[in-house]
Structure 1
């Protein structure tokens, strides 16, 4: 019996996958909903505010993925150390992950503070949009430190199959964010009416609340992931840092390259049609929410596959790879159909959009539903399987070819050379995902990603 013919035979694996995936999916939804809440609330002001936060949010997304890239390197090690039963190494790798994700956050926040206006001007030459986006980016960029600190501990909690803890505190963060948005955007409770700048203040303050609440909870309870100062110091060895960077740098650069490509797509669409810029600002957080469950299953698979690789159970890991791929595809089709069914309700939340922008947003929405299905297999195989085995260099090369050598040139040609309508230009974002279907499936089938990282990093 081939691997592809037995995806759902292991009910135990499916149950474990869902128990880990659902809290991660909820956490991803809450994270994505922060930008959606900003767009929804600021959308009551003007299209310039919507466009500004959309562009700034895309830049924040790039930095967020850089932090997640650094965290992913740590997650690979943390999951395998947990699978191997090495608790000392487990805690030290969590400490190292927290440290290096914060270094990444510091670099991003500094760039945003110094070059915010230049970043916004890449996607828009409207002075109002640039000014609003600059204010948002400089303030909201401070929340990256909170994200970095929370992410390091969340990696450990996921490896222990207890992602619900960090998910709960993400819920605290998003609740505070909504409340502070209402206060600072519209000037309630005696606060100044700050508009889109108030949304940035709310993002930064809610991040601080979430971080402090999570750390206080874990350290008061002396949780296993609450590393000590001695473990933090012992984690900072040259050998440990080099091993961490060998995994994290390719992944972080991969995320930077990929997310920068998304920013290029955004810029191309913005220059084709300014209404398309506001439309994609609306669609991006909606798409992120739609993909949350698929992201959850991919990350849950990375934990389970990583645990088995750390325990040297390579045959089990290989079988699980195909199971999660098929499961993600079926789930993606279901999610796309649901999103199509609720389209009028979702787009009804954006009354500030003009007739043309509203029509383009509707076209983008239909394309987004198709993209959800197209993204399922690459997401499962790259995030959930290949990176679990530390196959980060292949992932980097594949993303570079699929996006920068094929996807972006195709989209650019459609926009500039052939002058296609903006909604067809947006639909062509599927090109790179189709390329990844081929590359990721071939790589997973080869089995070269079945690596034990614990023995390599001792």
Structure 2
């Protein structure tokens, strides 16, 4: 064994804080859905529709922040403080501008989208109120995601984990109080969950900002920019980021379009899929965090100019771990689905039965999804971002979205068949990802020149 090659333990040390951070991030949504479920299926439908629009804005942020994280990891492996400073500030400006433009679009068109998807005026009203408050979260996360990308890219994933560890209990407590009007607070219902998320997000960003200043002093002591000019560096950062942003934007937009199509199903089926999707994201973080940690280390290795033998050995170790993670995820899905009648005992029997229809897909989904994620993160780390984007675009817009429309609007299939499209999409992408990775071109990438 090459002692210089990162081990599975190195991946694990990065992955577990990422996984717990993601668990808490998505867990907030699960908790909000659980708390709101006591208000009935119509309240869940309102949250699901508003979440579809808000998720699009957050997806844009996650997209550009993911690109910034890769650039920071590459700089951490090679270019040093100058590259770290450049990547961070380029990413921050991109996040702020993209959120500003996104919010303008929501203000202009969000109401019409919500009204077209809502089955009743009450659902539309609650969804719009939730969304307007949630915009505070979006502005806060424009800064918070960039700060998190810096710490993750430098291998300090525990810092971002601690920020969510601080924010999650704040979110839960404030949401419970405001949803139900406890201790003299106003009873806000669905909107109370949005206020809880906003207060928690602002707290998290404040924590990350203090840590960033303490560790780097905002990079005020580092003079200049890579390539000798901020304008040139910003342009190169954008060129690198756009395919990654396009990938995430395609995924997010495709997912939200599917949610709006799901809203055309019965309220029970829509409520069931609104409940299960946060669980899919929460439990799936075990596999996705392993892949993300693999991508961070791979970007550092490529930035440091590691040889092919080191890259191959590391990738084999990462892949073995990914299959173990997939098995764990599949087992947790089994337990959750079988326990759903007790977890959501206040919901109607038809809604609970719909949740059980998702089980066959959930048992097999983690395996191709986890392997595809290892391929995608490795290719992104090498700068092969355009190919990754194209694969995701094909999966979303050539297959999943049209098939969802066909299954729901034309064939009127059961929600179990509609949900199975998530697995079929991963099978479609599987050969495209793996053939690209096996070609080996990514091993020769000159990431500092990109």
Q: TM-score, normalised by structure 2?
A: 0.92
**Higher mean displacement: 15-24 or 67-76:** 67-76
**Higher mean displacement: 277-286 or 253-262:** 253-262
Residue in 1 that maps onto 2:343: 349
Q: Partners of 2:427 and 2:255 in 1: how far apart?
A: 16
Superposition pairs of residues 26-105 of structure 1, within 5 angstroms: 26-105=20-99
Q: Partners of 1:232 and 1:211 in 2: how far apart?
A: 26
Q: Given the alignment of the two structures, is residue 297 of structure 1 paired with residue 290 of structure 2, yes or no? A: yes
1:106-160 C-alpha deviation (Å, 9 max, x unpaired): 2233333333322324543322221111111111122112222122122221222
Q: Given the alignment of the two structures, is residue 254 of structure 1 paired with residue 271 of structure 2, yes or no? A: no
Residue in 2 that maps onto 1:3: none
Change (3 A) 1:322 1:107: farther
Superposition pairs of residues 389-400 of structure 1, within 5 angstroms: 389-400=382-393
Q: Partners of 1:38 and 1:72 in 2: how far apart?
A: 25
Q: Partners of 1:428 and 1:232 in 2: how far apart?
A: 51
List gaps (5 residues or longer) in structure 1.
1-5
**Equivalent position SS for 2:168:** helix
C-alpha RMSD over aligned residues:
2.4
Q: Given the alignment of the two structures, is residue 411 of structure 1 paired with residue 408 of structure 2, yes or no? A: no
1:85-106 C-alpha deviation (Å, 9 max, x unpaired): 5222112212222222222222
1:361-397 C-alpha deviation (Å, 9 max, x unpaired): 2212443333233311112211x21111111110111
Contact persistence 2:171–2:196 (CA under 8 A): yes
Q: Partners of 2:408 and 2:291 in 1: how far apart?
A: 33
Q: Partners of 2:431 and 2:4 in 1: how far apart?
A: 26
Contact persistence 2:368–2:427 (CA under 8 A): yes
Q: Partners of 2:154 and 2:348 in 1: how far apart?
A: 48
1:223 pairs with 201, 215, 218, which one? 215
Contact persistence 2:243–2:386 (CA under 8 A): yes
Cα deviation for residue 229 of structure 1 reads 5.2
List gaps (5 residues or longer) in structure 2.
none
Q: Partners of 2:394 and 2:355 in 1: how far apart?
A: 29
Cα deviation for residue 302 of structure 1 reads 0.9
Cα deviation for residue 232 of structure 1 reads 9.8
Q: Partners of 2:126 and 2:301 in 1: how far apart?
A: 48
Contact persistence 2:83–2:225 (CA under 8 A): no
Residue in 2 that maps onto 1:431: 424
Superposition pairs of residues 33-432 of structure 1, within 5 angstroms: 33-219=27-213, 222-224=214-216, 226-228=217-219, 234=225, 237-315=230-308, 316-382=310-376, 384-432=377-425
